[in-house]
Amino acid sequence: MAAAQKKQLLKIIILGDSGVGKTSLMNQYVAKKFDNRYKATIGADFLTKDITDPVTSDPVTLQLWDTAGQERFQSLGSAFYRGADACVLVFDITVQDTFAHLTSWMEEFAIQAGKKPYVLIGNKSDLESKRQVTQKTAKQWASNENVSYFETSAKDNSGVELAFQTIADMALKQKPRIEEAPSLPGLKPIDMSKKKPAKQDDKCPC
Ligand code: G3D
Ligand code: MG
């Protein structure tokens, strides 16, 4: 019988101002595998999507965490961020303020989750005539922060798959593989270099 496959779990959170399209993007990405379990205790929704690790071909479950609207008050609570492996930071290309607030979202993520990969999404690319943030400005911000920038439309499903696939790949690369998991807690490796040398005058009974 074949050995059970190891399954990696990645927690990816989606951040940005209210109305930028976070929920729409997640629904669009997950589409065919919708899981709307509501986490009443922490006030957040997550959806799951199964993908395959492009390097090992092992199965991976993406757990995509959406807010339940609390982002209006910028208080998502530590449970939302806890254990996050990566982040998708979203603004709306038609609303300048949502771009101006990116830095504070990014800083909050860094404080709460530590140094983890993230990507930047400029959403609503179908509304080109209403654009307030140029591609050049957004790309410059992303380049300064050393992150990838994607323009998407959750409405016409453009660029969505690529953006989420990219962040999943980045998160997988920085997360230890299951078979590389650290050794059992409490067991320290023995440092042989610190072992006392045998005394010269030891009487050997043999
Ligand atoms: P949020 O989860 O970030 O708060 P939502 O944002 O996903 O709830 O989206 C907010 C509004 O923007 C919704 O419209 C939604 O339909 C719209 N929207 C989301 N993504 C896009 C997009 O790519 N293009 C366009 N044109 N609209 C988008 P309503 O009218 O329901 O408030
Ligand atoms: Mg929402």
How remote is the CA of residue 198 from the centroid of ligand 2, in Å?
Answer: 68
Please, which residues have CB within 8 angstroms of residue 19's CB and are 6 or more apart in sequence? 92, 95, 98
pLDDT digit string (tens) for 53-107? 888 888 999 999 988 666 666 666 788 888 999 999 999 999 999 999 999 999 9
How remote is the CA of residue 60 from the centroid of ligand 2, in Å?
Answer: 25
Q: Which atom of ligand 1 is nearest to the CA of 17?
A: 3
Q: Which pTM was predicted?
A: 0.81
Residue 191 pLDDT > 60: no
Q: What is the pLDDT of residue 74?
A: 64
Share of the chain above pLDDT 90, in %: 53
What are the CA-CA distances from residue 30 to residues 50, 97, 137, 151 (Å)? 9, 28, 29, 18
pLDDT digit string (tens) for 136-155? 999 999 999 999 999 999 98
Nearest ligand to residue 25 Cα: 1
How remote is the CA of residue 155 from the centroid of ligand 1, in Å?
Answer: 8
DSSP 175: S
Band of residue 121 on the pLDDT scale cut at 50, 70, 90: very high
H-helix or E-strand spanning residue 169? helix 160-174
- Ion ligand 2: residue ranges with CB closer than 5 A: 22-23
Average pLDDT, the chain: 82
The average pLDDT across 179-203 equals 54
Please name the residue whose Cα sits nearest to atom 18 of ligand 1: 21
The average pLDDT across 103-113 equals 92
Nearest ligand to residue 22 Cα: 1
Please name the residue whose Cα sits nearest to atom 19 of ligand 1: 21
